[in-house]
Amino acid sequence: MEKNKKILIGGIVIILLAIASYFSFFTNDGKIYNEDFTGAIFLGKGDTFKISLKSNPTTGYQWNADFDETLIQLVDTSYKADEPQLMGSGGTEIFEFKVIGSSTDTSIKFSYARPWESVPPIDEKSFEIKIK
């Protein structure tokens, strides 16, 4: 009876490991890159990825992305406030993209500005994208 119990538990563990492996290898949650990332981002058609940038919307500033819409699609934008959430404190703007083109190089350029002002942005970031 004890041997059967060990075999059953071993079988359950193997099944759970197989399920976890399936989701880690075959789902595409995308990678996250932040403003400190340097170098190129290597992706394939259909891949998703996120870029997170420090931001403080209470100042009126926001990040705007400029990219080739025939190669990359903006899927979603979101904001996550820093913890603890204090009045006037900042957070992170998160941009989620999906690669829709293939076999080329491109870039995503971000500018941090107030949309109603016609002055140069106070910050800019650029990410080199290499699509296989």
In the chain the domains, ranked by start, together with CATH numbers, are: 29-131 (2.60.40.2020)
- Residue 18's pLDDT is 46
- Residue 84's pLDDT is 85
Give residue-wise pLDDT tens across range 82-115. Answer: 988 888 889 999 999 999 999 999 999 999 999 9
Q: How far is it, in rounded angstroms, from Cα 58 to Cα 66?
A: 23
Q: Which two tokens stand for residue 43?
A: 């992706």
Q: How many residues does the chain have?
A: 132
Closest CA to 62 of 113, 121, 122, 118: 113
